[in-house]
Chain A
Amino acid sequence: MSLFTRWIPRRYRLAFSHIVNRPFELLMTGLDVAIAPLQWVLGVRRMAYFFIAPNLIIFGIFILLPMVLNFYYGFTSGQSILLENREFVGTDNLETILTCEDYGNPNTCKEDLFWRGVRNTGAYVALQVSTMVVLALITALALNRKIVLRGFFRSVFFYPVLLSPVVVALIWKWFLRYDNGLLNALLENFGQDRIQFLADPQWARFWVIVVSDWAQMGFYTLILLAGLQAIPASLYEAAEIDGANTLRRFRFITLPLLMPTMTVVLVLAFIRAVQVFDQVFVLTGGGPGTATLYIVQYIYREAFVNSPPQFGMAAAASLILASVLMVMTLAQLFFARRSEAT
């Protein structure tokens, strides 16, 4: 029995459902009148294209077309955004970006800021993804147990995911500021010196990771929690009877069975970390200096902050980023298929 009709006395339910359903029936009949001749003309198989066309058009205009334009921009130079005013320069932009005397030292690269962005992004991805996945796993394991106020804690950990990245960054900026920041006020209260959390490169890098972990962890916790709940309880009962302790149960049951979910979490977290921009842009602006300048912000700076704007360089850098992400996506598909096969 439908939840919506349960409160209606039984003898009126049929009449109620007629009233509610009638407009839908009329609508569907109307659609049928319009679509049936079309189906007659196109045939049943081709009707699928008709139904996906609206979404395909939107996807084409807002995703596919910009991708094609970006590809073309990557091989042109000039200040204009109009294609006809841009000069085709072949792979010059890519060559400029990739030219380095010593790849370990960004200062020797022709486009040193790109390589600082690459180095910063690499360090950020490694630390942010690893810490967040470990923390999300610990949290998911804790929330999977029968603890008091389990529902409340699940909401608490998920809540930051609902916040906009800009809001998250502004909250934390207020928290970390040197002048009138909450954390520094606490330090002073305990007789400690204030710390330049956002003006010291190491501290800034640290807090960018902490804030990202805080903001995103709930989402991955939820996925891992679903993975944990899909593991049959009978396996744990059998292991317990066999005398396996908690660590061994985790090592030989939880971890192997959670691996497919973990792979998805790792790949999603990796892709998101490589694309990091909005939160860090508001929190540190890429500074101090270029300590938290990541690749996407480099692209943004080249296209929209520099004067004159370097749209070609920005597009070329985004092609490199897209290639990296594509490799990661293919790796995800490979691992997912392999785990399905086993």
Chain B
Amino acid sequence: MKLRTVLLLVLVVALAVPAASIMAQDQVELRIMWYNDGNEGEVLRDLLDRFEEEHPNITVEIDTVAYADLDKTLQPQVEAGGANAPDIVRVTDTARYRPFYLDLTPYLPDPDYWEASFAEPVLNSFRKGADDTGIYGFPTQFTVTGPFINRTLFDQAGVDVPSEVMDEPTWNDWVEAAVEVAEVTGVPYAVAIDRTGHRVWGPALSNGATFLNEDGSFTVDSPGFRETAQMIIDWHERGITPLGVWVESGGEYASARPEFVNGQLVMYMSGSWQIQGFSSDIGDTFDWQAVPNPYGEGGSTGIPGGAVMAGINTTAHPEEVAMVMDYLASVDVLTEFTARTLFIPGHIGIAEAGVEYDTDDPSVLQALNTFLAEVPKLSEEAYGLQYSPIGFPLNVNIRDRLGQVIVGELTLDEAIVMIQETVDEAYAEVYGE
């Protein structure tokens, strides 16, 4: 009896082990490298759970890293390739990973859907050149830079919101109003702008700056850029902006979000990606609003942007990657993602149809409408800067050099020369001239 039981067990194990190994071979595991601005990782997980139910042989893991560490982590992994590399990534510096994107075209059931649904500059931003017609990824959201105000403070101070009483308020109009609000309400800071060149571009273009040349190179020096840079320097000299953002932060990106969320700041130049976080962090502590980008000689423009998702060409499972991507880029899924994350959709059809956002917060709805109204105002140069392969070097160098000017290490003239030299080097490296 005992011997029979033992033999039976041996037989079961002998049959089960190869079966399990065959099953394991069929099971495909994909990995997405991801970062979060708000709740989008949570929403993505929900959506992927549904995908996995429909496709039991595919499992998708999300590796979440801090945005500040994204490029440091991702670049070595994609270059190493193989099992080290993620199969899908979410990035903002699209140009940096061009050699590593997977062309999804052969695996997509309807590539035309992708061409029709996503803006050409975004699809081109993945491509290696004019001859490249591949489809590599899609924007998870569209972002627009623009300012927020603490509406409660304006009301308490009895100061008019410039965009409500003027047709085309300038940066000067906004800053003086914010200073008055700060003085009346006793709030420490009137105005702040994130420590990144990307946030400086919008005000600079609105003030008449032109960066882009016809050959794709940049000219940094222009009256509009000087005016904007000087404006930010003046904020520091007047003590109306928190030094923690541009001065105390050393050499990296920093935001004034903590000051704004804590009610210590009247006006904050940032962008639409902050909406979900403001809704959850500020709640009903005070009323906040997004306001149109201030006007200047160059009109009123923010900078478009956003994150993109793309497949990585070292994946061992290109078909499954394309399946996941096609699922996430589909109208229903992307609509739900947009509605729950409170992002502006990067999908043309969804944007045109409108999104019923998953919120009752009036500040959120007001902010989303304001940023949607900013989209048609975006200048051509704003798109050009955002999707230029040398946009990031310009962004990083404006940030670092302007930081040095603010603390008195450089003059603005010296800083402009240094930024120009660096972007010229980056241009030569990219275009080989």
Contact = CB atoms under 8 A, between A and B. Distances in A.
Interface of A: 79-82, 85, 107, 112, 116, 177-179, 196, 198-199, 201, 281, 284-293, 297, 301, 304-309
A293 B251 contact: yes
Interface of B: 71-72, 75-76, 79-80, 93, 96, 188, 242-244, 247-252, 264, 392-393, 395-396, 403-404, 406-410, 414, 418, 426, 429
B252 A305 contact: yes
B82 to A, nearest CB: 12
Contact of B250 (A82, A85, A116, A284): A284
- Majority SS of interface residues in chain B? helix
A256 B72 CA distance: 50
B79 A198 contact: no
- A-B CB proximity, top 9 nearest: A285-B250, A289-B407, A287-B250, A286-B250, A199-B243, A307-B392, A288-B247, A199-B247, A289-B409
Contacts of A301: 251
Contacts of A292: 250
Nearest to A113: B400
B251 A305 contact: yes
26 contacts: A82-B79, A107-B414, A178-B244, A178-B248, A179-B242, A199-B244, A199-B247, A285-B248, A285-B249, A285-B250, A287-B249, A287-B403, A287-B407, A289-B247, A289-B403, A289-B404, A289-B406, A289-B409, A290-B251, A290-B404, A290-B409, A293-B250, A305-B396, A307-B393, A307-B395, A309-B75
A176 to B, nearest CB: 10
Contacts of B393: 306-308
Contacts of B75: 81, 309
B264 A179 contact: yes
Q: Please report whether the interface of chain A is mostly helix, strand, loop or mixed according to DSSP.
A: loop
Given A178-B243, A307-B96, A284 B251 contact: no
Contacts of B418: 112
Contact of A285 (B252, B406, B408): B252
A112 B419 CA distance: 12
Contacts of B72: 304
B127 to A, nearest CB: 18
Contacts of B410: 107
A292 B407 CA distance: 12
A287 B392 contact: no
A316 B433 CA distance: 24
A199 B96 contact: no
B76 A287 contact: no
A306 B75 CA distance: 13
Nearest to B393: A307
Contacts of B429: 308
Nearest to A78: B429
Nearest to A304: B72
B188 A179 contact: yes
B79 A81 contact: yes
Nearest to A306: B396
A8 B176 CA distance: 84
A86 B166 CA distance: 56
Contacts of B93: 307
Given A81-B75, A307-B71, A307-B393, 12 more contacts: A178-B248, A285-B250, A285-B251, A288-B248, A288-B407, A289-B247, A289-B407, A290-B409, A293-B250, A304-B72, A305-B396, A306-B393
A208 to B, nearest CB: 12
Contacts of A116: 409
B229 to A, nearest CB: 15
B407 A308 contact: no
Given A285-B252, A304-B72, A291 B244 contact: no
Given A285-B251, A305-B252, A81 B76 contact: yes
A207 to B, nearest CB: 12
Contact of A308 (B96, B247, B251): B96
Nearest to A106: B409
